[in-house]
Chain A
Amino acid sequence: MCASVKYNIRGPALIPRMKTKHRIYYITLFSIVLLGLIATGMFQFWPHSIESSNDWNVEKRSIRDVPVVRLPADSPIPERGDLSCRMHTCFDVYRCGFNPKNKIKVYIYALKKYVDDFGVSVSNTISREYNELLMAISDSDYYTDDINRACLFVPSIDVLNQNTLRIKETAQAMAQLSRWDRGTNHLLFNMLPGGPPDYNTALDVPRDRALLAGGGFSTWTYRQGYDVSIPVYSPLSAEVDLPEKGPGPRQYFLLSSQVGLHPEYREDLEALQVKHGESVLVLDKCTNLSEGVLSVRKRCHKHQVFDYPQVLQARWFWEAYFQSIKAIALATLQIINDRIYPYAAISYEEWNDPPAVKWGSVSNPLFLPLIPPQSQGFTAIVLTYDRVESLFRVITEVSKVPSLSKLLVVWNNQNKNPPEDSLWPKIRVPLKVVRTAENKLSNRFFPYDEIETEAVLAIDDDIIMLTSDELQFGYEVWREFPDRLVGYPGRLHLWDHEMNKWKYESEWTNEVSMVLTGAAFYHKYFNYLYTYKMPGDIKNWVDAHMNCEDIAMNFLVANVTGKAVIKVTPRKKFKCPECTAIDGLSLDQTHMVERSECINKFASVFGTMPLKVVEHRADPVLYKDDFPEKLKSFPNIGSL
């Protein structure tokens, strides 16, 4: 800014000795170029918004303009359905090739109108539902318009309702599809199969190896693991607005709404109704509806009229998989997808548990009850910056613990090299120093390859008060509770009614809901979870604030296991013998405020308060019992 002002004052400094005519010429030229550049730049940004609009790619045509295909009377007919078909015999899985996303690609044939030799059409063009179904597939992630990359082919020939079809000709139309190949990897959707006289339970159109997603299969027509059994969609359900179901039990314990029931069954049901009264409701067709009322939307019990299907009070399954054509189509494709990529399949619970159950429950990643053998031992991980003297003291103390199998020092100081090898204390187990790239607190929870045991002891470089007995006992306790945080410094979270938020508490109370990872045992899997699966921005937030990594770990473990921590031994002072009740740092008022903030922050990110409060701690069986000290396994336990 300043510079240009200066030049302006001094006149034409840029082109000092040019003639005025030239000067004007140059300035004009320059302005044109400048304008052009600006215009181009703007142009670069504008057109994108036009291009990204949705309608750009979608064809808009009339259904009457589709190409007509004439089927000669003698064109080939596929074989009847092969009842022995299974995925490994009739399905060409090579077409599904390698797909890093484990998602099949589905191609939809273009819509055509088929006519016979006399020009009479073979079927109605396409039904509203089949159009909706193909649209749903086309809008999904499964869709591809590249026939060469497709793993599954969906003909646009509508066979939802067998009654509307000319069976032989429909089959001929299938057979002439460009990739038909005996129907391999072709998927047909049918909801109303069969016809007089034998009312078959599967589509009668000869279809060879094609997969059938059918409504109304019987166990004899359904090819286990090959066909897909789908619900029969009711066009009526599109307009149904179900009332919200309130809490508490439903009005009817048992309800039958089926019409055309076999008389024997109906008698039984009505007997039930007589016996149980109000809680059982047996409905039938209405006989005396006034004009203009759609009979399929009503059901009657004697003279009482009920809205149908609202009276059913259907819920989760219906909403998830039955309510719309789209839901039916996508569930069908997901089922086939799960068969082709079984290792990426959706679990039983994901299919079946309503969202409320999914939210309320936890699935412990370490669910198998198992006490790991003592011989495995544990790996101690000491996070340090530059307190070498204190660090060496901690190393010396920890190395006395019989079950220690390795010691890992995480050197978090990038400006200073760790001491030379010769200066480190000589200990009986391997000692490894890991240098970090950045001074971050999350480095202490990184799943280092060097960790070979399942048990990890996280310990600060200033925790010098813990005795070998206390640490060994802590490891024994961890073995009995390998899915929990087992630690020494216990803390509590409390609800502050005045401030209406969570509060951190480090007083010596009767309750515990956290143990600090300044000295705690836990399973190394939680390192993986902390590093890669921590919800929201917590991990970065902790690194940025240089605080609360221990509280974050407590939240993480409690949230994933649903279990409380275990505080071991009475120990409450960790840093030096002369320290007062609570360690100096913790007394700091701002420290307490920050820690409380962490709890509130984490609770909002987790969307819940996962910490569990307990009133117990773990002591050795004979702790403070009237029993000879020398016979106790862990005599050196007990001081604060």
Chain B
Amino acid sequence: MQSWRRRKSLWLALSASWLLLVLLGGFSLLRLALPPRPRPGASQGWPRWLDAELLQSFSQPGELPEDAVSPPQAPHGGSCNWESCFDTSKCRGDGLKVFVYPAVGTISETHRRILASIEGSRFYTFSPAGACLLLLLSLDAQTGECSSMPLQWNRGRNHLVLRLHPAPCPRTFQLGQAMVAEASPTVDSFRPGFDVALPFLPEAHPLRGGAPGQLRQHSPQPGVALLALEEERGGWRTADTGSSACPWDGRCEQDPGPGQTQRQETLPNATFCLISGHRPEAASRFLQALQAGCIPVLLSPRWELPFSEVIDWTKAAIVADERLPLQVLAALQEMSPARVLALRQQTQFLWDAYFSSVEKVIHTTLEVIQDRIFGTSAHPSLLWNSPPGALLALSTFSTSPQDFPFYYLQQGSRPEGRFSALIWVGPPGQPPLKLIQAVAGSQHCAQILVLWSNERPLPSRWPETAVPLTVIDGHRKVSDRFYPYSTIRTDAILSLDARSSLSTSEVDFAFLVWQSFPERMVGFLTSSHFWDEAHGGWGYTAERTNEFSMVLTTAAFYHRYYHTLFTHSLPKALRTLADEAPTCVDVLMNFIVAAVTKLPPIKAPGGPGPRPKPPAPAPDCINQIAAAFGHMPLLSSRLRLDPVLFKDPVSVQRKKYRSLEKP
């Protein structure tokens, strides 16, 4: 019995092994027997020719074109490009100077704002003869009047025809060689590098300052809708696309399930905004999306995106083919948080830098044309496409990003480790000997400049210092303090008033702090702005409070670029205001830096011994400046940056900045 069972199990094992053998071996044999042939699906590829060595080159040496090139000629057809239709020789002297034809008859509000912003720009000139660009405003649809041929037309050469709405008039004259700046032009008629694509400006678009962007946080709020779709009557509808792909064609509207909320909103609240359809409707949606920080998803736009010549829209919008909707939806759903984060921030930066006011749009248009004239000394792409943008990073200062205070990290560079002290000596005109010694004692000080700006004669003797000391005889104007003197050799400037008192270690420590925040102002004395309900305007206080929004420029570190910005980009009226009310200059400088950085200044410890109470600026100063800026750029900070062991109850021996703590 037992043996039978044994034999049975033995047989079982044997047959199992045989089966295994047959199965495994059979396959291998089969494979051996059949000739090897490529597996289906494996690519065959382009053949490697056995005689590839014998192949001839597509061109023989010497065949490459060597025929004499002739100088460029004007095109035979009607089409123009920059080289053939724009005469840059007229712009050689002062760069871009713009003349604008005065308006005839009644004009619309937008029209008036455009005229105002051109006349207020640094490009403006009164005389058509001295202008390099002549600007003609094509009339709005509202007024219905049609313009006639202007006097200096000259076949449209060096003319820019500004057309904010699709032309309502039959063309009363041929465009000739004129460029066209048009709101969302169709791609078919747009001449890249010659015409300028403008955004579609709504009637109520503010003149300057601008409607603020709506983005309050960097990343999308959890639970916010993925997609907003356009509705009729200018609203937006948010759609939850989690379940299906239907919201594209509106078929789901019959089934407003729990996932879909039907809301009318003027500005969309979603991560992505779907924009299809045609201009001008789509173009105005596009602008709304930018303002809302909602990433525009454009389905086959047949119109040129605004300022596409300089703005890299791939960083702020998704342009996709309307014929592949499912693919786009899938791409949106799977988009990495990193990309969404970057796109969101970019929409908001672009809105704020180029689109939020009529003035910005017009200045951007002129800047684009100026960049064409400048050629190689135009703004590099980085300056257009990262904060603060090309309107605030002047290419006349430099065309290399590392010269500006904003791009150090992007460029992998850092500000120099030295500063120039610029001491302003106003009335009564005492040479600031003690201050010079204190500043010159800093290991980071590279040079001292004394700006002598009072009625007393220049002293002939100055103290011996370890660093070079230069005396500049000023023009007795306060705005001179912020002139970009060519003698300033360092990135950092320590702006001082002769009456300030600072110790060497205060200077040393504040400069170290500035190196961490080179785009901001680092100062010692602070003041604040506040909204004064009683007077319905802004107020100013130099009282000590728990927060501040300005540092006094009588003792502050900042980048020398702000001198260029102060002198060359501010409207003349504002600089005059500073000269007339000298205490205003602090406010003005803080406004500029805040408008550029969108951040508050930084306070370092020290500065005042017995605090000399700075005279409060003329009460209306801050309001005048705010009006000129169009908005209030100042922001408040609640912190001060102290040395790490500042006033800690530890051994003085440990502390590097001991003298900062003396009362």
Contact = CB atoms under 8 A, between A and B. Distances in A.
30 contacts: A37-B17, A37-B24, A47-B28, A56-B38, A57-B43, A58-B45, A59-B48, A62-B49, A127-B57, A161-B58, A192-B63, A199-B67, A265-B71, A296-B62, A342-B318, A360-B411, A364-B409, A366-B345, A369-B597, A449-B222, A454-B218, A480-B639, A510-B654, A525-B337, A528-B337, A615-B644, A616-B644, A619-B640, A622-B546, A633-B546
Interface string B639-663: 1111111111110001111000001
A42 to B, nearest CB: 10
A224 B48 contact: no
Given A98-B326, A262-B70, A220 B75 contact: yes
B650 to A, nearest CB: 6
B256 interface: no
Contacts of A62: 49-51
Contacts of B254: none
A356 to B, nearest CB: 9
Interface in B54-81: 54-59, 61-71, 75, 77, 79, 81
Contact of A33 (B18, B79, B217): B18
Interface stretch (A2-10, A129-137, A438-446, A597-605): A129-137
Given A43-B28, A626-B663, 7 more contacts: A16-B3, A235-B58, A235-B61, A260-B69, A368-B345, A370-B348, A619-B646
Contacts of A16: 3, 6
A344 B639 contact: no
A513 to B, nearest CB: 11
Q: Is the contact region of chain B dominated by helix, strand, or loop, or is it mixed?
A: loop
Nearest to A144: B43
Interface string B283-327: 000000000000000001010000000001011001111111011
Contacts of A367: 342, 345, 386-387
B242 interface: no
A30 interface: yes
A621 B47 contact: no
B577 interface: no
Given A60-B47, A84-B188, A371 B635 contact: yes
A367 B216 CA distance: 14
A570 interface: yes
Nearest to B49: A63
Nearest to A128: B55
A635 B512 CA distance: 28
Interface string A294-322: 11100000000000000000000000000
A365 B55 contact: no
A340 B321 CA distance: 8
Contacts of B18: 33
A387 interface: no
Contacts of B3: 16-18
Given A98-B327, A108-B46, A615 B56 contact: no
Nearest to B512: A615
A163 interface: yes
A345 B337 contact: no
A321 to B, nearest CB: 17
A335 interface: no
**Range of interface residues on B (Cβ < 8 Å):** 35 or more
A327 interface: no
B325 to A, nearest CB: 11
A234 B42 CA distance: 34
Contacts of B600: 480
A64 B51 contact: yes
B558 interface: no
A40 to B, nearest CB: 4
Contacts of B411: 357, 360-361
Contact of B639 (A40, A265, A620, A640): A620
Contacts of A352: 381
A523 B218 contact: yes
A145 B663 CA distance: 82
Interface stretch (B262-270, B328-336, B422-430, B533-541): B328-336
Contacts of A370: 215-218, 345, 348, 598
Contacts of B331: 102, 341, 343-344
Contacts of B647: 570, 623-624
A366 B218 contact: yes
Contacts of A58: 44-45, 47-48
Interface string A219-233: 110001100000010
Given A480-B637, A570-B648, A357 B412 contact: yes
Contact of B17 (A33, A47, A57, A94): A33
A40 B337 contact: no
A171 interface: no
A476 B52 contact: no
A508 B643 contact: no
A63 B324 contact: no
Contacts of B52: 63, 128, 131
Q: Which of A57, A352, A372, A452 has the most CB of B within 10 A?
A: A57
Given A129-B57, A296-B61, A369-B387, A342 B319 contact: yes
Interface string B168-189: 0000000000000000000110
Contact of A567 (B188, B387, B644, B648): B644
B547 interface: yes
Contact of B46 (A137, A235, A365, A509): A137
